[in-house]
Amino acid sequence: MRAAARSTPADIAKRFRGLSDRALAWLFIAPTMVLLLAINIFPLLWAIWLSFTNYRANRANEVVKNVGLSNYQRILGDGDIWIAMQTTAHFVFWTITLETLIGFGLAYLIDRKFRGHAFWTTIILVPMMLSPAVVGNFWRFLYQPQVGLFAYVVSFVTGIPSAQIDLLGSVGSAPWAIVIVDTWMWTPYVMLICLAGLRSIPDYIYEAAEVDRASPWRQFWSITLPMALPFIMLAVLFRGIENFKMFDMVNLLTGGGPGSATEVASITLKRQAFESWRTGYSSAFAIILFVAVFGLANIYVKALNAVKQR
Amino acid sequence: MSLTTAHSVVAPTALSRRIAATIVIVYALVSILPLLWIFATSLKTPPDSIAYPPKLLFQPSIEGYCNLFTTRTRQTPEYITSPATSFCDQVTRSRNMVIAGPSNFVPRFVNSLVIAFGSTFCAVFLGTLAAYGFSRFKVPLADDLLFFILSTRMMPPIAVAIPIYLMYRELGLSDSALGMILLYTAVNVSLAVWLLKGFIDEIPREYEEAAMIDGYSRMQAFWRVVLPQATTGIAATSIFCLIFAWNEYAFAALLTSGTAQTAPPFIPTIIGEGGQDWPAVAAGTTIFLIPILVFTVLLRKQLLRGITFGAVRK
């Protein structure tokens, strides 16, 4: 070893040998920090500044006026914004409920370790790896009345004529259309995390419960569920953040329509920022959204840690 | 219920296994059906693709793939009857059209490749350095910095896109591959740091310490001891970054329009005569999805770690 070390051509190494660990640490970390400051923090500060102005990106030469908090006041008093927030809340609530129930159920079944379970698990995982935009776009075809596969299968099972099954076309059903695609795509995600949770429960706990003659029902509620709970909560956290800012799948599937039936917060933001070009106003909305995600995530992480420590 | 668990304490019974297997397999088949349908549609002719009832059995055709790679134009009957120059041309002429030239699919696909690989390389390079820094040195406020790195990922992409759009307009980076590579690097570096820190934490410090006692400098120890040990982690992290950049739509749709446009915003815009050309869209989607399918199978052991930012390691 010693001979090998001595024989290395160590020009660069010699230059660094003199550096203290502290200096080296900064050398390693600084490039990442500089990049994040330039591409994340600087734009964020810019957005905060813009949110206090009436700037419009399509009229760059106009004089920019400082309007104080009026953008924020207008957003909080804007009925359309509240409807968008409500649409987002419904979307997040139903997708997370369905994904957690189905995902946990599947994980529980896969944990029976039947023959070939690894293969089928991999098959189930495929949808979540794909591009939500590209696949979401194709779901528009599957949802078409008559010629779409979805309409055909539903009408085959239920007997409703397939020409009448137009999920994307009506205000009442369009929100469910996006919930179905999101559930299809992200249930595997929740399943995978739940499966890790179930596998982390040591066998001896079940053995002890069996000695105490606890019923399977009792074992599920007193052992399986509480011990898998931190994992389930983690999955809900990740899905919650992602679905709160959902854009790509919804934009391609419905574009927020029909009307504004599926206009989640990100779609409103896009319409305000890149179609109406109300840059100042939409920056204020962006900041409100960011604070909301950040605040909710922080509260939730505290709850998660409390559950973990129990 | 109690009878079924009577003889074995932990191992599930044969019956419960069989029931579980049936439900899981049915779910798997139903969930994979839309993907099989995409592939089937890519091999249909446009009339077959919108037939009612949907056709399960059909004569396979490569018309979708031909339409994906070409643009077509109407021509006079005399021209149509002249001999075709290629197989695709022949297919096109049967629809009373001729091939006018290549479509934008190949350049958009190349953009996707360049941007995905470029940003992945940068993110993993920076991420490995930072992860090593956080893993091995006493960094002041390390936890806060790590949380800051993670929190950059919580921003809704549209919210970031507004100032980035303005910034790139000032810097002349609008609709450029370089701009997209920088942006995706910044988004991916948070994932890279978190995942790689986990992988590097698992390499015993004693290896480097032994090497340094033997006369290696800190940099040599990093290059010759830590990096080779972290190869699996770096490979897995690279694939996750690659998949993110490959699939990304929001930034690409808002910040690119022509020269730097990637495949995800392009594929939905493929239209034929009288609306969306679904076989061509399906063909583009199929080609776009195949690399991801391969990576998913390769990655299945590391998947859990990747999707939870290293929070769950199994």
Give a yes or no: residue B231 inside a domain: yes
The rounded distance, in Å, linking the Cα atoms of A142 and A289 is 32
Please tell me the predicted confidence (pLDDT) of residue A16: 52
> Is B289 within 8 Å of chain A by CB?
yes
Residue in chain B lying closest to A141 (CA): B278
Residues of A in contact with B25 (CB under 8 A): 120
Please tell me the predicted confidence (pLDDT) of residue A18: 59
CATH number of the structural domain spanning residue B260:
1.10.3720.10
Q: Which of residues 151-210 of A touch B (CB under 8 A)?
A: 152, 162, 184, 187-189, 192-193, 196, 199, 203, 206-207, 210
Average pLDDT over residues B124-141: 90
Burial class (CB in 10 A: 0-12, 13-18, 19+), A34: exposed
The string of DSSP codes covering A50-94 is HTTB---TT-TTSPPPB-TTHHHHHHHT-HHHHHHHHHHHHHHHH
Give a yes or no: residue A262 inside a domain: yes
List, in order, residues 6 or more apart from A153 with CB less than 8 Å away. none
Nearest to A43 among B12, B164, B281 (CB): B164
B62-81: burial string, b at 16+ Cβ within 10 Å, e else: bbbbbbbbbebeebeeeebe
Average pLDDT over residues A262-288: 90
Give a yes or no: residue B6 inside a domain: no
Work out the pLDDT band at A2, boundaries 50, 70, 90: very low
Judged by CB atoms closer than 8 Å, whether chains meet at A10 and B50 is answered as: no
Q: Give the pairing of strands B70-74 and B97-102.
A: antiparallel
> Is A115 within 8 Å of chain B by CB?
yes
Positive or negative, the CA dihedral B60, B112, B235, B193 is negative
- Residue bearing the bigger pLDDT, A267 or B80: A267
pLDDT tops 60 at residue B33 = yes
pLDDT tops 70 at residue A81 = yes
Give a yes or no: residue B136 inside a domain: yes
Give a yes or no: residue B58 inside a domain: no
> Which tens digits make up the pLDDT trace of A163-220?
888 888 889 899 999 999 999 999 999 999 999 999 889 889 988 998 888 888 898 9
Q: What is the CA radius of gyration of chain A?
A: 26
pLDDT tops 50 at residue A7 = no
Give a yes or no: residue B253 inside a domain: yes
- Per-chain mean pLDDT for chain A: 87
Give a yes or no: residue A27 inside a domain: no
Query: How many domains does one find in chain B?
Result: 1
Average pLDDT over residues A261-272: 91
Helix (H) or strand (E) holding B72: strand B70-74
- For an interface test with A, the pick among B26, B147, B162, B197 (most A C-beta atoms closer than 10 Å) comes out as B162
Judged by CB atoms closer than 8 Å, whether chains meet at B5 and A216 is answered as: yes
Residues of A in contact with B50 (CB under 8 A): 147
Give a yes or no: residue B248 inside a domain: yes
Q: Which of residues 57-96 of B touch A (CB under 8 A)?
A: none
Q: B125: domain range?
A: 106-269
> Is A93 within 8 Å of chain B by CB?
no
Q: ipTM score of the complex? A: 0.86
Query: How many domains does one find in chain A?
Result: 1
Chain A: give the shortest CA distance to residue B163, in Å: 5
Give a yes or no: residue B47 inside a domain: no
Percent of chain B residues past pLDDT 70, beyond the cut: 96
> Is B268 within 8 Å of chain A by CB?
yes
Give a yes or no: residue B157 inside a domain: yes
Residues of A in contact with B285 (CB under 8 A): 134-135, 137-138
List, in order, residues 6 or more apart from B296 with CB less than 8 Å away. A122, A125, A126, A129, B303
Give a yes or no: residue A66 inside a domain: no
> Which tens digits make up the pLDDT trace of B139-164?
888 888 888 888 888 778 888 888 89
CATH number of the structural domain spanning residue A181:
1.10.3720.10
CA distances from B19 to A124, A187, B25, B26, B210 (A): 17, 20, 10, 11, 54
Please tell me the predicted confidence (pLDDT) of residue A3: 42
Judged by CB atoms closer than 8 Å, whether chains meet at A113 and B12 is answered as: yes
Judged by CB atoms closer than 8 Å, whether chains meet at B220 and A10 is answered as: yes
φ and ψ at B307, to 5 degrees?
Answer: -75, -15
Please tell me the predicted confidence (pLDDT) of residue A62: 75
Show the tokens assigned to A75: 């957003």
- What is this structure's pTM? 0.87
Chain A: give the shortest CA distance to residue B79, in Å: 34
Nearest to A206 among B10, B165, B289 (CB): B10
- Residue bearing the bigger pLDDT, A3 or B185: B185
Closest CA to B72 of B277, B309, B247, B305: B277
Number of residues assigned to chain A: 310
Show the tokens assigned to A239: 């899905």
> Which tens digits make up the pLDDT trace of A136-151?
889 999 998 888 899 8
Q: A252: domain range?
A: 74-309
Average pLDDT over residues A95-111: 95
Closest CA to A198 of A270, A136, A107: A107
Please tell me the predicted confidence (pLDDT) of residue A17: 55
User: Per DSSP, what are the bridge partners of residue B276?
Assistant: B271
Give a yes or no: residue A9 inside a domain: no
> Which tens digits make up the pLDDT trace of A107-123?
999 998 888 888 999 99
Please tell me the predicted confidence (pLDDT) of residue B302: 82
Give the helix ranges, DSSP H, for chain B: 14-42, 46-49, 63-69, 77-81, 87-93, 105-136, 142-151, 157-171, 177-201, 205-213, 218-221, 227-229, 231-247, 250-255, 263-266, 278-299, 303-307
Nearest to B312 among A2, A10, A193 (CB): A193
- For an interface test with B, the pick among A59, A114, A128, A239 (most B C-beta atoms closer than 10 Å) comes out as A114
Average pLDDT over residues B51-75: 85
Contact B215, A5 (CB under 8 A): yes
Please tell me the predicted confidence (pLDDT) of residue B5: 42
List, in order, residues 6 or more apart from A276 with CB less than 8 Å away. A282
